[in-house]
Amino acid sequence: MSSISKLTSFIRDSAKELGFAECGIAPASFLSADAPRLDQWLQLGQNAEMAYMENHHDKRLDPRLLVDGAKSVIVFLYNYFPGEWLKEDSSYLISSYAYGNDYHDVIRGKLTCIIENLRIRVPGISIRGFVDSAPVLERAWATRAGLGWIGKNSMLISRKKGSFFFLAELITNLELEYDQPFGGDYCGDCSRCMDACPTQAIVSPRTVDAGRCISYLTIENKREIPADFKGKYEQWIFGCDICQKVCPWNKYSTPNDEPGFSPSGDLKKMESQDWESLDQDSFNHLFRRSPIKRAKFAGLRRNIEFLK
């Protein structure tokens, strides 16, 4: 077995041992097919006030500008599909990705483990890990690494496992064995995600207008929520799962086995009145390790008040 084969096998085996659902590898290159779509999305202002999406444009399209001499992009999928949904009939709603601990912390530790072991095997390598934390077009790389296709809701979809996944990447100057890019689009003429979106944020297949998206409005958005959306997005106060829950491919989703993603007993018991009476100290205690802290207490209060 060649050194390239050995390193590739080590990475794939490590990913499996660390709980990643899938691992795909693609050669690092310029994302020529994705550049026009990104440019059009930005030109139309569909990134809303996420100005950072306009920054580091060249790096976002070419991983070789993020890691000197980069030859490989390794993409990992980490399952977060819940074993049980939090109550929906008597409580406000939060996206299932926020049920437990912050995924950045959970996954970053796993990537660090792989990086450290690779440095032992190949001293002096150039390698960086990314968990939704840098200008990387994650879904584009996932398709190039053979892990799935980008659905009409703009989510990466796996034919075997659905779409409830976090994506993470390692970019390195190591030459590895590569997977075949994923070919085809298996959404067909299905439009359930587009039809189900209560704010019509999916303006065309694979294109989401962030300024209309519930996830953006309740998390990234720092202003008041536009009055036009009053009464249009059910009880969501942090993120949204609608377009994924209606997707037929998620019938193949299986519950995650990451203990850190399990909701706490206190969160499971939350009723609407508990959310409404939440104060700063309770927020700090309940969500100290949660992605919900990203919205901050003021943002969460704004979201709740908008629905009342």
pLDDT digits (tens, 9 = 90+) for 249-267: 999 999 999 999 999 999 9
Buried-exposed string 81-95: b where 16+ CB fall within 10 A, e elsewhere: bbeeebeeeebbbbb
143-192: per-residue pLDDT in tens? 999 999 999 999 999 999 999 999 999 999 999 999 999 998 999 999 99
Hey, how many other C-beta atoms are within 10 angstroms of the C-beta on 68?
Answer: 8
Residue 169 contacts by C-beta under 8 Å, 6 or more apart in sequence? 73, 74, 75, 76, 129, 130, 136, 138, 141
The residue assigned the tokens 């792989």 is 114
Q: Strands, DSSP E only, in the chain? A: 22-27, 72-79, 93-94, 127-130, 149-150, 156-157, 165-172, 202-204, 207-208, 236-238
d(CA 198, CA 233): 6
Can you give the pTM of this predicted structure? Answer: 0.95
d(CA 216, CA 146): 28
282-307: per-residue pLDDT in tens? 999 999 999 999 999 999 999 999 99
Buried-exposed string 114-140: b where 16+ CB fall within 10 A, e elsewhere: beeebeeeeeeeebbbbbeebbbbbbb
DSSP-derived 3-state class of residue 224: coil
Structure tokens at 70: 């980069």
Structure tokens at 192: 């359930």
CA angle 79–8–76, rounded 5-degree value? 20
Residue 45 contacts by C-beta under 8 Å, 6 or more apart in sequence? 211
Structure tokens at 20: 């990643």
Which pLDDT score, from 0 to 100, does residue 308 have? Answer: 87
d(CA 17, CA 84): 24
Nearest CA to 266 out of 289, 245, 234 is that of: 289
pLDDT band of residue 91 (cuts 50, 70, 90) is: confident
CA angle 85–86–88, rounded 5-degree value? 100
Q: Where in the sequence numbering do the catalytic residues fall?
A: 132
Check pLDDT > 70 for residue 8. Answer: yes
d(CA 292, CA 103): 11
pLDDT band of residue 233 (cuts 50, 70, 90) is: confident
d(CA 228, CA 213): 13
Which pLDDT score, from 0 to 100, does residue 2 have? Answer: 66
